[in-house]
Amino acid sequence: MYKILLFLFLIFFSYKSFSIEVKILNETVGNGLEVKNHSKLSVHYIGRLEDNTVFDSSYDRGQFFDFQIGVRKVILGWETGLLGMREGGKRTIFIPYQLAYGESGAGNLIPPKSNLIFDIEVIKVIPPGYKEIDGYQLKLAITDDFKIIDIRNADQITNKNKIPGAIQITAFDKNGNFFPDFFEKYKENIQIGEKVIFISQNGDISSILANGFVEQLNQVNIYHLKDGVSGLEKINFDFE
C-alpha cells in the first residue's frame, strides 16, 4: 500500500504544465546521452542570485548531485531547464522565482521572489527504466504479444481514434484526478512480466504512469507511446 500511495503522490505532482519558461543563457552541447523526462542524472552545479552571489555549489562540496527528472525532487526550473542537454554538456539557465523557491524564498540564502541563475554540468545520464516507442513501432507491437493499455478518458476517445486491440483502462478523469480502481482493473487484464504499452492523448501522462510502474512498483517490460494518439494522427495511423 505504501508504494501505491507514493506512486499516486508522484503522479499528482507530475501532472502539471508550466506556462512560465526557463531561459537558456549559455550552452556548451555535450555528445553523450540526451536528458529526457525521467532520466536519472549526476550533475555539478553553481547556484547564483541575480547579483551573482553564490548560494550553493556542488563543486565546493566535491560531490555530484544525483536525481531523476520529472518526479519533483528538484525545483520546477530544473525539471524543464535541463531537458535536451547531453552528457558532458554545460548550460547556464535563468529560472524565474515562480519556478524556483517562490514568494517565500529559502532560508537566509535565497530571499523571497528571487530569480535564480544556475551553471549546470551534466556528468552522467541514465535513461528511464521504461522504453519509449513511436507510432511506427506501435504498428508492429499490435501484431506481437504486447498488451496495449489506452489510459485516456471518455472525452478523449472517439469512434475515429480507437487503438486496435487496446484495453481501455482510464487512469485520470478530465480534471486530472486519478481513478483509484485503475490498479485493480490493470491486474485483471495484465500478468506480471507481460509487455505493456501505455497510451495517452499526448504521451506525457503515459510516460508518468510508465515511470511509476518501473520506479515505484518495480515492474518490467513497460513501454509508453511517444506523442500519444496526437502523434498517431499525424502519421495517418490506421485506427480501429
pLDDT classification of 56: cutoffs 50, 70, 90: very high
- What pLDDT, on the 0 to 100 scale, is given for residue 17? 47
How much is the average pLDDT of 59-66? 97
The Cα–Cα gap between 39 and 34 comes to 9
- The gap between the terminal CA atoms of the chain, to the nearest Å, is 37
List, in order of start, the domains of the chain with CATH numbers: 18-126 (3.10.50.40), 131-234 (3.40.250.10)
Length of the chain: 240
The Cα–Cα gap between 146 and 225 comes to 13
Q: Which of 7-16, 17-26, 168-177 has the lowest mean pLDDT?
A: 7-16
The Cα–Cα gap between 144 and 138 comes to 10
Average pLDDT of the chain is: 90
Percent helix, percent strand, percent coil in the chain, to nearest 5: 25, 30, 45
- What pLDDT, on the 0 to 100 scale, is given for residue 240? 85
How much is the average pLDDT of 98-119? 95
Query: Is residue 130 predicted with pLDDT exceeding 60?
Result: yes
Question: By CB neighbour count within 10 A (0-12 exposed, 13-18 middle, 19+ buried), where does 104 fall?
Answer: exposed
Q: DSSP strand E in the chain: where?
A: 23-28, 40-49, 54-57, 65-68, 90-95, 116-126, 131-133, 146-150, 167-168, 195-199, 222-225
- What pLDDT, on the 0 to 100 scale, is given for residue 201? 95
100 close to 114: Cβ distance less than 8 angstroms: yes
DSSP 110: B
How much is the average pLDDT of 206-227? 92
pTM, to two decimals:
0.84
The Cα–Cα gap between 238 and 240 comes to 7
Dihedral sign from CA coordinates of 58, 63, 68, 72: negative
83-104 tens-digit pLDDT: 999 999 999 999 999 999 999 9
pLDDT classification of 174: cutoffs 50, 70, 90: confident
The Cα–Cα gap between 33 and 88 comes to 9
The Cα–Cα gap between 29 and 85 comes to 7
How much is the average pLDDT of 156-182? 89
